[in-house]
Amino acid sequence: MTRVPAAARAEAAAADRTFGFLVHDVSRLIRRRFERQARQTGLLITRRQAAVVLYIARNEGVSQAEVAAWLDIEPIALVRMLDKLHEEGLVERRAHPTDRRVRTLWLTPSARPVVAQILAINKAIREEAFAGMAAHACDTVIDILDGIKGNLALREGTDDSPTAPTAGPDGIDIAKLPVAAG
């Protein structure tokens, strides 16, 4: 059995408390709490499916592509999820009025009580998560996370374009070289 040095153990323990790990752990625990409470109330829906239902509830007529982009999942994965939600009688797909390639998403009347259950579960989990904290602290946490989300979202568009080095290995600024005609 290999013994891990104390310094490595301390470093690993500190890593568990870093921002990224904490955000991930909180997200995982919220997802597990949601799915457990949904099962206990007889609501057979995953957290991700619930997110789709809530997004459609706020944006009825939204396209499948927009929902996939919002969830950051491949369209085929969303299609499978929508198939299940359709089978459950919660979501309806309709043709777009002007673009026959686009399918829009709508909630069925039977989805309304499900939305209410999802919101009630979300509220209960939020109360559990913030138990013992002052109301202003809860608002502060949400404001900070919203700001972090905004900061990172701003970077998303700019990160996609590669930043090429402007100096070649010999120190010549390659950005100022003439472009060869082909």
Residues 34-92 have pLDDT tens digits of 999 999 999 989 999 999 999 999 999 999 999 999 988 898 999 999 999 999 999 99
The answer to the question of residue 51 being in a domain is: yes
Q: Tens of pLDDT along 126-158?
A: 999 999 999 899 999 999 999 998 998 888 767
Those residues with Cβ within 8 angstroms of residue 116's Cβ, 6 or more apart along the chain or in another chain: none
> Is residue 125 over pLDDT 60?
yes
The answer to the question of residue 151 being in a domain is: no
| E strand or H helix that includes residue 103 | strand 103-107
The answer to the question of residue 6 being in a domain is: no
Question: Domain range for residue 24?
Answer: 15-136
What is the token pair recorded at 106?
């709508």
Confidence class for position 14, pLDDT limits 50, 70, 90: low
Those residues with Cβ within 8 angstroms of residue 174's Cβ, 6 or more apart along the chain or in another chain: 164, 165, 166, 167, 168
CATH number for the domain harbouring residue 88: 1.10.10.10
> Can you tell me whether residue 21 is helix, strand or coil?
helix
The answer to the question of residue 101 being in a domain is: yes
Single-letter amino acid, residue 179 = V
CB atoms near residue 90 (< 10 Å): 21
The answer to the question of residue 53 being in a domain is: yes
The answer to the question of residue 179 being in a domain is: no
Number of domains in the chain: 1
Distance, in Å, from the CA atom of 100 to the CA atom of 44, rounded to the nearest integer, reads: 32
Distance, in Å, from the CA atom of 102 to the CA atom of 64, rounded to the nearest integer, reads: 8
Q: Tens of pLDDT along 95-111?
A: 888 888 888 999 999 99
What is the token pair recorded at 111?
């989805």
Say if residues 115 and 98 touch (Cβ distance below 8 Å).
no
